């Protein structure tokens, strides 16, 4: 640290020195410094290069609006973070920061050549240049990609922990400056649940370091009064204060997102196992926005050199951080607030060289004080140029003409190492507009302020974000507005004695005139994206009218700072150039987030194992122990196949499929949806939701049902069993379970409330063990010897209540494989034991557990569809060649009318067919296209393969497909064109195996 640049400050800990690295070099700062203040105290102004022209750029502000001083933090490939504002990084031990957008170094940057090419790089340069010739695009792309983007993304996963938390409160106060503190106190006094947020480490905003004797509250310095108020806030149990918490988004219904930084300020070694950032999801009954205002720059030639800072930032650096931004400082202003900076500097031993003020005069209290000190003020002057490549070393000023449209007289040269600029104030209305609020233009102070008459949500803006810039206005209006908003009669702030300075003379020039034509100057508007006033004017000349278009064409306001500094000037220059009123051509939309959010904060803990739910069946541990590979089906983990002795998936599936048909297979079918249906109208209800008839189904019998949407397309399928007169159990597909229940509830509640039917899901209550194959009967008999399994007593498509070792179970004789098979449904907490018993009982029959892949293969051999695989919401039962399941007699069921719409009765719809390949060993790829004429151009796609397997039981490849008019094309030869070959296929029946269903009763 340079001793000459440090003065005493009570706001930071000047006894604790902290080392840090910037661009590889070690520096020191104090605890409480930001990276920016620490760098400035080391006399480092040059911190980065601009995006387009690679011009040297320095720290310009002290807050979230910083456009230039954005750095890459940390060299660790998993922790490195680009585009962090040096003004917001609290100094910590182990901090490593580097400049961005420069190569090989910030001091010598090759890209700087762009600055000299700048006459050839006007707005829209990239759009205009890289359009043609099209064939060159690949070459351009390399160049553009190389020059695009700021900073470097981490290359390894983020090891940090992020968290989310919902909060509900009566009042949320955003911003802990003087207005926020007043509002929060009023709310807390009223006993309302209150949350107060501030993005800094301490509350107090800019007033906390206001020790200027010209401003007093109850005869105390503002700083002292406010410190006391903040101290008093701690006594309210109903007030929760969150610092280092920045509001990111203000959504409808007062739903707000705020990011709390929990470890970024800690020494690197103290961060382990702690949450780095927490995203608060806040639902507030009422919101008080007290986000303050930020100072505007002034727009003049070469206004971007390192050493040029916002005047209010110079004030914060000296008053709060105890850092002088320079030793020869000049101030260039359009308003009174810069004079506060002059007084602060003077108090700390820096007498400002000169003040350049565009106004004719100012008669306020503080200006008088400055004049009394004897500082030279150039009234009605403007800076026309600055000099110094990596740090400003002098300014040139000239007198403004009467109207302020040009300059006159001689050029005056002033040397300086720092220039403070102040172009007035911009209220932070971002959050107000994010919530849907509309703005109005205040012509006196040239700023947009909230128009609260046009806001629909429960919120107010107080303090300078509401356009109140003078201390007494801020306090009085905050008090009044908050009282009215929270329905408070009298307040402790009603009778404060406030002493303030009032600005009486106002003047604003969006683009300051120069002695040179605009084309020869560089008045920067958007410092990060290097767009100048010239670019905006060019865009207007080229016909862009809407502000949104100008913004995109010139990239003004599109940097990481989202134009916090540049937007107002862009609007002003557009208004002046086009002769329209401010905002007449639109204002830009402020979209969330207010400041960039990390991806970590957005996703919170929803990463890794918590990315999505995982559902497990009761037998999951068994599957795992026995080497199952799992497939994700919906959120379920289902056994896919069970490889033995390093089998490949194909080998395992072939073995499992064979075993299921030759002897016995066992499947965990617990994931199927199960809905318990009760009520006197249960049969009628099923009649209405399924395509087939249900009234005559006997108790104890099962039936397969197909469910359609009202548009006639197949929606879901499954077996439903009649357990009693008015009692059924319906099964649905695994993926469709929740949707089917919702859909059925919907019909019951809204279309057929007269039906006496109740639905209750029991998917998780019962686990289902399916045992199939010619030996399944013997196995089930061993397990449940009391149950008569004879075909007479227990035929296919029937069910029996039974019990295993005293625990009730429901056994269904139903089959999805075409084999003789049983499904045992038992309470889930006993299911793993029953599964183990089945394995034990089936041992002598080589009972083979099989997964979803084998299940799919076996059912495909039988031509059974899987909804969602063979269907895609565009197929009717007729398209599936399942006409047999559509009742002709029923008057109505869901989707019936749609089955004979002109479109659904077309003969040339895609229909489900079987496919066999000429080469029996050639297995088609699911999803591949089917064509008839390979020479026709464009090739006509007739359909696609929906399911395809090599069948070990048929010893050939089989497939299901949907093909235009497929029903009538049996025997037709078609092609499946692949990348390297055309596969010859023939259309067949959909049933490949045991067409007579003999095996069901084998």
Interaction with other proteins in 450-469: which residues (CB under 8 A)? 456
Q: Decide: is 160 part of the binding site for other proteins (CB under 8 A).
A: no
Q: 54 or 276: whose CB is closer to other proteins?
A: 276
Q: Decide: is 505 part of the binding site for other proteins (CB under 8 A).
A: no
Count CA within 13 A, CB hemisphere, residue 811.
27
- Site of tokens 């060649």: 881
Q: 157 or 409: whose CB is closer to other proteins?
A: 157
From 492, 425, 437, select the one nearest 461 (Cα to Cα).
Answer: 437
Q: Decide: is 165 part of the binding site for other proteins (CB under 8 A).
A: yes
User: Binding marks (x or -) toward other proteins, 707..726, rule CB under 8 A?
Assistant: ---xx------------x-x
Mark the segment that binds other proteins (CB under 8 A) among 128-136, 156-164, 362-370, 543-551: 156-164
The Cα 662–Cα 297 span in angstroms is 84
Q: 679 or 868: whose CB is closer to other proteins?
A: 679
The Cα 464–Cα 312 span in angstroms is 14
Sign of the CA dihedral running 109, 112, 114, 116? negative
Q: 201 or 808: whose CB is closer to other proteins?
A: 808
- Site of tokens 């002290």: 62
Which residues, numbered 901-930, are part of the site for other proteins (CB under 8 A)?
Answer: 901-902
Q: 131 or 905: whose CB is closer to other proteins?
A: 905
- Judged by CB under 8 A, the residue of 494, 542, 745, 933 near other proteins is 745
Q: Decide: is 142 part of the binding site for other proteins (CB under 8 A).
A: no
Q: Is 451 exposed, middle or buried (0-12, 13-18, 19+ CB in 10 A)?
A: middle
Which residues, numbered 417-446, are part of the site for other proteins (CB under 8 A)?
Answer: 436
What is the nearest approach in angstroms of other proteins to the Cβ of residue 150?
A: 31
Mark the segment that binds other proteins (CB under 8 A) among 17-25, 513-521, 774-782, 888-896: 888-896
User: Binding marks (x or -) toward other proteins, 189..228, rule CB under 8 A?
Assistant: ----x-----------------------------------
Mark the segment that binds other proteins (CB under 8 A) among 41-49, 99-107, 821-829, 957-965: 821-829
Count CA within 13 A, CB hemisphere, residue 234.
5
User: Binding marks (x or -) toward other proteins, 832..871, rule CB under 8 A?
Assistant: xxx-------------------------------------
Output the 3-class SS for 934-981. Answer: CCCCCCCEEEEEEEEEEECCCCEEEEEEEEECHHHCCCCEEEEECCCC
Mark the segment that binds other proteins (CB under 8 A) among 275-283, 586-594, 841-849, 929-937: 275-283
Q: Decide: is 497 part of the binding site for other proteins (CB under 8 A).
A: no
The Cα 531–Cα 564 span in angstroms is 14
Q: 401 or 805: whose CB is closer to other proteins?
A: 805
Q: Decide: is 744 part of the binding site for other proteins (CB under 8 A).
A: no
- Judged by CB under 8 A, the residue of 617, 802, 871, 948 near other proteins is 617
The Cα 347–Cα 872 span in angstroms is 77
With beta carbons less than 8 A apart as the criterion, state whether 733 and 717 touch: yes
Regarding beta strands 714-724 and 982-988, do their DSSP bridges make them parallel or antiparallel, or are they unpaired?
A: unpaired
User: Binding marks (x or -) toward other proteins, 283..322, rule CB under 8 A?
Assistant: x---------------------------------------
Q: 365 or 839: whose CB is closer to other proteins?
A: 839
What is the nearest approach in angstroms of other proteins to the Cβ of residue 724?
A: 8
Q: 830 or 993: whose CB is closer to other proteins?
A: 830
**What CA–CA distances, in Å, run from 17 to 24, 38, 267?**
18, 10, 13
Q: Is 736 helix (H, G, I), strand (E, B) or coil?
A: coil
Which residues, numbered 763-782, are part of the site for other proteins (CB under 8 A)?
Answer: 763-766
Which residues, numbered 631-690, are part of the site for other proteins (CB under 8 A)?
Answer: 636, 671, 676, 678-680
What is the nearest approach in angstroms of other proteins to the Cβ of residue 809?
A: 10
Between CA 451 and CA 462, with CA 457 as vertex, the angle to 5 degrees is 50
Proportion of the chain in helix, strand, coil states, percent, rounded to 5: 25, 30, 45
What is the nearest approach in angstroms of other proteins to the Cβ of residue 760?
A: 4
Total of chain residues touching other proteins, rule CB under 8 A:
73
The Cα 295–Cα 336 span in angstroms is 12
The Cα 33–Cα 492 span in angstroms is 35
Q: Decide: is 762 part of the binding site for other proteins (CB under 8 A).
A: yes
Q: 105 or 165: whose CB is closer to other proteins?
A: 165
With beta carbons less than 8 A apart as the criterion, state whether 61 and 310 touch: yes
- Judged by CB under 8 A, the residue of 609, 792, 921, 935 near other proteins is 609
- Judged by CB under 8 A, the residue of 891, 908, 937, 955 near other proteins is 891
Q: 358 or 824: whose CB is closer to other proteins?
A: 824
With beta carbons less than 8 A apart as the criterion, state whether 708 and 877 touch: yes
Q: Decide: is 947 part of the binding site for other proteins (CB under 8 A).
A: no
Q: 364 or 617: whose CB is closer to other proteins?
A: 617
Residues ≥6 apart with Cβ < 8 Å to 450: 289, 427, 429, 432, 437, 439, 440, 461, 465, 466, 467
Output the 3-class SS for 5-23. Answer: HECCCCCCEEEEEEEEEEC
Q: What is the separation of C-alpha 945 from the centre of its chain, rounded to a whole number of angstroms?
A: 36
- Judged by CB under 8 A, the residue of 10, 168, 201, 970 near other proteins is 168
Q: 228 or 760: whose CB is closer to other proteins?
A: 760
Q: Decide: is 127 part of the binding site for other proteins (CB under 8 A).
A: no
Regarding beta strands 381-387 and 275-289, do their DSSP bridges make them parallel or antiparallel, or are they unpaired?
A: unpaired
| Backbone torsion region of residue 926, taken as left when φ is above 0, otherwise alpha when ψ lies between -120 and 50, otherwise beta | beta
Between CA 392 and CA 398, with CA 395 as vertex, the angle to 5 degrees is 160
Q: Decide: is 805 part of the binding site for other proteins (CB under 8 A).
A: yes
What is the nearest approach in angstroms of other proteins to the Cβ of residue 431?
A: 16
Ordered DSSP codes for 480-504: HHHHHHHT-S--TTTT--EE-----
Helix axis angle, 649-662 to 852-861, nearest 10°: 60
Q: 404 or 634: whose CB is closer to other proteins?
A: 634
Is the backbone peptide bond immediately before 988 cis, with ω within 30 degrees of 0?
no
Residues ≥6 apart with Cβ < 8 Å to 84: 70, 71, 72, 73, 97
What is the nearest approach in angstroms of other proteins to the Cβ of residue 615?
A: 4
Q: Decide: is 618 part of the binding site for other proteins (CB under 8 A).
A: yes
Q: Decide: is 616 part of the binding site for other proteins (CB under 8 A).
A: yes
User: Binding marks (x or -) toward other proteins, 949..968, rule CB under 8 A?
Assistant: --------------------
Q: 136 or 610: whose CB is closer to other proteins?
A: 610
Output the 3-class SS for 630-682. Answer: EEEECCEEEEEECCCCCCCHHHHHHHHHHHHHHCCEEEECCCCEEEEEECCCH
Q: Decide: is 874 part of the binding site for other proteins (CB under 8 A).
A: no
Q: Decide: is 830 part of the binding site for other proteins (CB under 8 A).
A: yes
Q: 757 or 976: whose CB is closer to other proteins?
A: 757
- Judged by CB under 8 A, the residue of 26, 490, 742, 980 near other proteins is 742
Q: Decide: is 750 part of the binding site for other proteins (CB under 8 A).
A: yes
Which residues, numbered 577-606, are part of the site for other proteins (CB under 8 A)?
Answer: 605
Q: Decide: is 253 part of the binding site for other proteins (CB under 8 A).
A: yes
Q: What are the DSSP E strand ranges found in 742-820?
A: 758-761, 766-772, 798-804, 807-813
Paired tokens of 865: 């569809």
Mark the segment that binds other proteins (CB under 8 A) among 36-44, 216-224, 583-591, 613-621: 613-621
Paired tokens of 763: 């998917």
Burial 406-424 (b: 16+ CB within 10 A, else e): ebeeeebebebbbbbbbbb
User: Binding marks (x or -) toward other proteins, 545..564, rule CB under 8 A?
Assistant: --------------------
């Amino acid at each position: 640290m340079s001793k000459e640049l440090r003065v005493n400050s009570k706001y930071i800990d000047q006894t604790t020195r902290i080392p840090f690295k910037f661009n590889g070099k070690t520096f020191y700062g104090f605890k409480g410094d930001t990276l920016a203040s620490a760098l400035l105290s080391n006399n480092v102004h040059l911190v980065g290069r601009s995006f387009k022209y690679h011009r040297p750029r320095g720290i310009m502000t002290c807050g979230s609006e910083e456009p230039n001083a954005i750095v890459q933090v940390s060299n660790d490939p998993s922790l490195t973070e680009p585009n962090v504002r040096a003004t917001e990084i609290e100094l910590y031990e182990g901090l490593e920061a580097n400049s961005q957008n420069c190569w090989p170094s910030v001091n010598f940057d090759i890209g700087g050549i762009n600055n000299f090419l700048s006459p050839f790089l006007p707005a829209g340069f990239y759009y205009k240049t890289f359009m043609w010739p099209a064939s060159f695009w690949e070459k351009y792309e390399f160049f553009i990609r190389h020059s695009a983007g700021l900073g470097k993304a981490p290359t390894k996963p983020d090891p940090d922990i992020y968290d989310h938390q919902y909060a509900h409160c009566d009042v949320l106060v955003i911003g802990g400056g003087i207005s926020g503190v007043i509002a929060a106190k009023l709310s807390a006094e009223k006993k309302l649940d209150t949350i107060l947020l501030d993005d800094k480490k301490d509350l107090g905003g800019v007033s906390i370091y206001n020790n200027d004797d010209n401003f007093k509250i109850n005869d105390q310095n503002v700083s002292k009064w406010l410190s006391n108020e903040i101290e008093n806030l701690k006594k309210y149990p109903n007030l929760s204060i969150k610092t280092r918490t920045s509001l990111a988004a203000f959504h409808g219904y007062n739903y707000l997102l705020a990011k709390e930084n929990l470890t970024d300020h800690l020494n690197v070694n103290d961060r382990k196992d702690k949450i780095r950032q927490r995203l608060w999801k806040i639902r507030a009954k009422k919101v008080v926005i007290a986000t303050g205002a930020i100072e505007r720059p002034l727009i003049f030639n070469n206004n971007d050199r390192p050493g040029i800072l916002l005047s209010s930032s110079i004030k914060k650096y000296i008053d709060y951080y105890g850092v002088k931004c320079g030793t020869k400082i000049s101030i260039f202003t359009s308003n009174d607030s810069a004079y506060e900076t002059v007084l602060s500097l003077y108090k700390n031993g820096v007498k400002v060289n000169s003040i350049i003020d565009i106004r004719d005069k100012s008669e306020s209290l503080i200006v008088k004080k400055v004049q009394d000190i004897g500082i030279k003020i150039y009234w009605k002057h403007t800076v026309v140029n600055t000099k110094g490549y990596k740090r400003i070393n002098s300014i040139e000023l000239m007198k403004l003409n009467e109207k302020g449209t040009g300059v006159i007289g001689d050029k005056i040269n002033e040397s300086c190492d720092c220039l403070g600029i102040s172009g007035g104030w911009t209220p932070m209305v971002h959050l107000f507009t994010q919530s849907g609020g509309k703005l109005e233009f205040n012509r006196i102070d040239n700023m947009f302020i909230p128009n609260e008459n046009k806001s629909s949500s429960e919120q107010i803006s107080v303090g300078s974000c509401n356009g109140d810039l003078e201390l007494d206005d801020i306090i009085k209006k905050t008090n009044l507005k908050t009282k009215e908003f929270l329905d408070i009669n009298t307040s402790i702030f009603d009778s404060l004695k406030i002493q303030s300075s009032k600005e009486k003379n106002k003047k604003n020039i969006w683009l300051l005139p120069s002695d040179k034509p605009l084309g020869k100057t560089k008045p920067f508007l958007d410092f990060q994206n290097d767009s100048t006033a010239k670019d905006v004017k060019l865009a207007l000349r080229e016909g862009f009218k809407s502000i949104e278009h100008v913004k995109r064409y010139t990239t003004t306001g599109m940097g990481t700072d989202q134009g916090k500094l540049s937007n107002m000037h862009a609007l002003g220059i557009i208004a002046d150039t086009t002769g329209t009123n401010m905002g007449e051509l639109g204002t830009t939309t402020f979209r969330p987030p207010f400041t960039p959010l990390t991806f970590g904060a957005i996703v919170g803990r929803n990463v890794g194992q918590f990315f999505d739910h995982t559902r497990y069946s009761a037998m999951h541990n068994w599957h795992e122990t026995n080497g199952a590979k799992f497939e994700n089906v919906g959120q379920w983990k289902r056994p896919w196949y069970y490889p033995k002795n390093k089998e490949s998936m194909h080998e395992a599936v072939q073995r499992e499929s064979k075993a299921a048909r030759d002897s016995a297979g066992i499947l965990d079918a617990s994931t199927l949806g199960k809905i318990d249906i009760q009520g006197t109208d249960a049969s009628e209800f099923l009649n209405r939701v399924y395509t087939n008839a249900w009234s005559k189904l006997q108790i104890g019998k099962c039936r397969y049902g197909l469910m359609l949407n009202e548009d006639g397309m197949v929606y879901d399928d499954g077996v439903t069993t009649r357990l009693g007169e008015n009692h059924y159990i319906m099964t649905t597909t695994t993926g469709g379970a929740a949707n089917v229940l919702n859909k059925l509830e919907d019909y019951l509640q809204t279309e057929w409330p007269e039906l006496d039917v109740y639905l209750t899901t029991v998917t998780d209550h019962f686990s289902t063990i399916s045992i199939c194959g010619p030996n399944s009967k013997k196995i089930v008999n061993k397990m449940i010897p009391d149950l008569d399994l004879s075909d007479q007593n227990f035929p296919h498509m029937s069910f029996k209540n039974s019990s295993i070792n005293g625990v009730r179970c429901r056994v269904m004789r139903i089959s999805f494989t075409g084999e003789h098979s049983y499904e045992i449904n038992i309470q889930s907490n006993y299911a793993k034991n029953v599964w183990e018993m089945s394995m034990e009982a089936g041992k002598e029959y080589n009972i083979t557990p099989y997964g979803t892949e084998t299940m799919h293969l076996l059912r495909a051999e039988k031509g059974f569809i899987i909804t969602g695989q063979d269907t895609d919401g565009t197929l009717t039962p007729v398209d599936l060649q399942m006409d047999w399941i559509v009742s002709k007699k029923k008057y109505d069921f869901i989707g019936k009318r749609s089955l004979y719409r002109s479109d659904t009765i077309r003969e040339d719809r895609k229909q489900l067919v079987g496919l066999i390949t000429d080469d029996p060993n050639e297995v088609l790829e699911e999803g591949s296209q089917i064509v008839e004429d390979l020479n026709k151009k464009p090739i006509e796609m007739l359909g696609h393969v929906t399911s395809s397997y090599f069948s070990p039981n048929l010893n050939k490849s089989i497939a299901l497909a949907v093909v235009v008019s497929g029903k009538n094309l049996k025997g037709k030869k078609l092609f499946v064109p692949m990348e390297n070959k055309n596969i010859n296929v023939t259309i067949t029946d959909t049933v490949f195996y045991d067409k007579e269903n003999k095996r069901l009763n084998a």
